[in-house]
Amino acid sequence: MRTFLERFTSRKFIMALLAAVVSFIKAYYPDFPDTALCAVVGSLMGYVAVEGAIDAVGVLAKWLAEKKASE
């Protein structure tokens, strides 16, 4: 079972939170600069992409280690 902190920092949760924040900002502050929103969204999406790449490399390394051990 995953701990609360792991769930809180999951990529799905971060993207859902980001969508809620952007929706709130656009609804209540329609004159908020789009470039600022793009900077925030881009930064968080970059974080999610890097974490996904790290996870993919970890899975690939585990698969290769298991394959080498079975030979």
pLDDT tens-digit series, residues 50-62: 888 998 999 999 9
Angle at 22 between CA 27 and CA 3, to 5 degrees: 130
Tokens of 45: 């999406």
> What is the rounded CA–CA span in Å between residue 14 and residue 51?
12
| Tens-digit pLDDT profile for residues 1-42 | 667 777 777 777 878 888 888 889 888 988 989 898 888 888
Find tokens 């900077």 and name the residue: 39
> What is the rounded CA–CA span in Å between residue 49 and residue 14?
12
> What is the rounded CA–CA span in Å between residue 34 and residue 18?
15
Find tokens 């809620």 and name the residue: 20
